[in-house]
Amino acid sequence: MTIFEHRLSLDALRAFVELGVADVLGDRAGRSEELAEQLKVDPPSLYRLLRALTVVGITEEVESRVFRLTTAGACLRTDRPDSVAPFVRFVLRPYRARAGESLEFAVRTGQPAMVAVTGGTSFEYFATHPDEAALFNAAMTSGSLSSVDAILSAYDFGDFSEVADIGGGHGALLAEVLAQYPRVRGTLFDLPEVVAGAAPLLAARGVDARCSVVGGSFFTEVPSGADAYVLRCILHDWPDAEATRILRTVRSAAGPSSKLLVIDEEVPATLAPHLSKLLDLNMMISLGGRERTRAEMGGLFAEADFRLRRVLPAGGLHAIFEGEPVAPRERSVADGRVEPSR
Ligand SMILES: C[S@@+](CC[C@H](N)C(=O)[O-])C[C@H]1O[C@@H](n2cnc3c(N)ncnc32)[C@H](O)[C@@H]1O
């Protein structure tokens, strides 16, 4: 595919999800004129959109002007528990596209490209755009659900009695951990306006009775007493200074035998091309964070008095970086540093 065709396929996909075509098609084959009537859109244009999306494997034209969803296209239905529609909608939102077009600004200034478009980072934008924030939260739930099996296969949470998910959104990952381990209790922690929307998901998964929900900022304080602190897709959102502050807040709440479980993309320490090196630009665009190598993550851990104990592959580009607390003095000696860490 040329760059032009690639760009057009994303435009077509965006129109398809915003119009909600997958929900109207469902699991049947539909004539484009009839679908256009249901959707109240221009029939010849809808026909051309559906035909275009056969090229990228979202629809199939089973007879002239009659379309059905492919297996990939069916994942865009919103009535499926594994729907990726919120994630696709979020990724293709116009404000994000405009920020992407401003990547040059990020390279020139070192600030997130989003600043050039909205005046702040994505999280600052969400504070004043509740509809976009709601879509972001739904997208994170969809993203979490797609990776939960790999995380549960990679890591045994059965020895913990209390797992805290810090920046856990609406609790999609934590709910699956609690569902798999009925003796484990959970604490879901995120911004107050985010955890306010978590109850339906926790109740639907039947884990609400074993899960406390706490609102706050991880730059100030997180709940103490958990024996595992999970941070999935948190540290990569932030530059090193803020990521270290988050880890220090967690370190203050953690007990001496608590585990820190950071789940993020891992950038391999090689010169070879790797998808994580492309995905890293997403952080440069929206938040000013970064994807990190194992050594970079270990450095952040050390700055916050954690030791990086092991790194486990967790599906796709993700890894679980497992840390354990160390005493500040131990860390200073190990690092050959003399200055106090805080
Ligand atoms: C990229 S999302 C990851 C969500 C979830 N952990 C997941 O993997 O789907 C980052 C999360 O950090 C939360 N967050 C941002 N700033 C925060 C703060 N100051 N305190 C607590 N949570 C915050 C956001 O609300 C969001 O849920």
Q: How far apart are CA 217 and CA 250, in angstroms?
A: 11
Residue 330: pLDDT band with limits 50, 70, 90: low
Q: 126 and 48, same structural domain?
A: no
Q: 313 and 201, same structural domain?
A: yes
Residue 342 lies in a domain: no
For the chain, percent of residues with pLDDT exceeding 90: 92
Last residue of a domain, which of 16, 45, 80?
80
Q: 13 and 153, same structural domain?
A: no
Q: How far apart are CA 271 and CA 286, in angstroms?
A: 25
For residue 242, pLDDT over 70 is answered with: yes
CATH number at residue 49: 1.10.10.10
Taking the centre of ligand 1 as the mean of its atom positions, its distance from the CA of residue 124, in whole angstroms, is 12
Our measurement of the distance from residue 151's CA atom to the centroid of its chain's CA atoms, rounded to an integer in Å, reads 14
Residue 337: pLDDT band with limits 50, 70, 90: very low
* CA-proximal residue: ligand 1, atom 9 (nearest): 140
Q: 77-81, 94-98, 284-288, 326-330: which has the minimum mean pLDDT?
A: 326-330
Q: Is 274 left (phi over 0), alpha (psi -120 to 50) or beta?
A: beta
Look at residue 149 in the predicted model and tell me its pLDDT.
94
Q: 175 and 75, same structural domain?
A: no
Whole-number average pLDDT of the chain:
94
* CA-proximal residue: ligand 1, atom 10 (nearest): 234
Q: 194 and 124, same structural domain?
A: yes
Look at residue 334 in the predicted model and tell me its pLDDT.
47
> Domain range for residue 29?
3-80
Report phi then psi at 253, rounded to 5. Answer: -90, -20
Between strands 66-69 and 30-31, the pairing is antiparallel
For residue 342, pLDDT over 80 is answered with: no
For the chain, percent of residues with pLDDT exceeding 70: 96
pLDDT digits over 280-319, tens only?
999 999 999 999 999 999 999 999 999 999 999 998 899 9
Sign of CA dihedral 166, 167, 172, 173: negative
CATH number at residue 130: 3.40.50.150
Residue 47 lies in a domain: yes
Last residue of a domain, which of 48, 80, 112?
80
Total residues found in the chain within this entry: 342
Look at residue 143 in the predicted model and tell me its pLDDT.
86
Q: Among the atoms of ligand 1, which is closest to the Cα of residue 219?
A: 19
Averaged pLDDT for residues 120-139: 95
pLDDT digits over 164-214, tens only?
999 999 999 999 999 999 999 999 999 999 999 999 999 999 999 999 999
**Pick from 286, 299, 147, 287: which is nearest to 230 by CA?**
147
Q: Among the atoms of ligand 1, which is closest to the Cα of residue 169?
A: 27
Q: 130 and 256, same structural domain?
A: yes
Residue 36 lies in a domain: yes
Between the CA of residue 207 and those of 178, 211, 292, what are the distances in Å? 6, 6, 33
Residue 91 lies in a domain: no
**Pick from 196, 199, 206, 210: which is nearest to 162 by CA?**
210
Look at residue 146 in the predicted model and tell me its pLDDT.
85
For residue 41, pLDDT over 70 is answered with: yes
Ligand 1 pocket test target in 91, 237, 283 with most atoms within 8 Å of CB: 237
16, 34 contact by CB (below 8 A): no
Q: How far apart are CA 287 and CA 267, in angstroms?
A: 18
Taking the centre of ligand 1 as the mean of its atom positions, its distance from the CA of residue 249, in whole angstroms, is 15
Q: Among the atoms of ligand 1, which is closest to the Cα of residue 140?
A: 9
Look at residue 144 in the predicted model and tell me its pLDDT.
87
Taking the centre of ligand 1 as the mean of its atom positions, its distance from the CA of residue 125, in whole angstroms, is 14
Ligand 1 pocket test target in 234, 264, 265 with most atoms within 8 Å of CB: 234
Residue 12 lies in a domain: yes
* CA-proximal residue: ligand 1, atom 18 (nearest): 217
Q: 132 and 22, same structural domain?
A: no
Residue 98 lies in a domain: no
Q: How is 255-292 classified by DSSP, letter by letter?
A: -TT-EEEEEEEB--SSSS--HHHHHHHHHHHHTS---B
To the nearest 10°, report the CA torsion of 115, 117, 121, 126.
160
Q: 144 and 44, same structural domain?
A: no
**Pick from 127, 169, 121: which is nearest to 286 by CA?**
121
Between the CA of residue 285 and those of 112, 120, 226, 279, 318, what are the distances in Å? 5, 11, 34, 10, 20
Taking the centre of ligand 1 as the mean of its atom positions, its distance from the CA of residue 295, in whole angstroms, is 24
Q: How is 2-21 classified by DSSP, letter by letter?
A: -HHHHHHHHHHHHHHHHHTH
Residue 331: pLDDT band with limits 50, 70, 90: low
Residue 242 lies in a domain: yes
**Catalytic option among 129, 236, 274, 318:** 236
Look at residue 209 in the predicted model and tell me its pLDDT.
97
Q: 320 and 254, same structural domain?
A: yes
Residue 90 lies in a domain: no
Q: Rounded to the nearest 5 degrees, what angle is found at the Cα of 70, between the Cα atoms of 66 and 75?
A: 125
Q: 242 and 191, same structural domain?
A: yes
Look at residue 65 in the predicted model and tell me its pLDDT.
98
Look at residue 181 in the predicted model and tell me its pLDDT.
98
Q: What is the pTM of this model?
A: 0.91
Q: 265 and 175, same structural domain?
A: yes
Last residue of a domain, which of 45, 65, 80?
80
Question: Residue 236 catalytic?
Answer: yes
Q: 240 and 132, same structural domain?
A: yes
Ligand 1: residues whose CB is within 6 Å? Answer: 123, 140, 143-144, 167-169, 173, 190-191, 194, 217-219, 232-234, 237
**Pick from 284, 289, 290, 234: which is nearest to 267 by CA?**
290
Look at residue 145 in the predicted model and tell me its pLDDT.
87
Q: Among the atoms of ligand 1, which is closest to the Cα of residue 194?
A: 25
Is residue 85 exposed (0-12), middle (13-18) or buried (19+ Cβ within 10 Å)?
buried
* CA-proximal residue: ligand 1, atom 3 (nearest): 233
Q: Domain count of the chain?
A: 2
Residue 336: pLDDT band with limits 50, 70, 90: very low
Residue 329: pLDDT band with limits 50, 70, 90: low
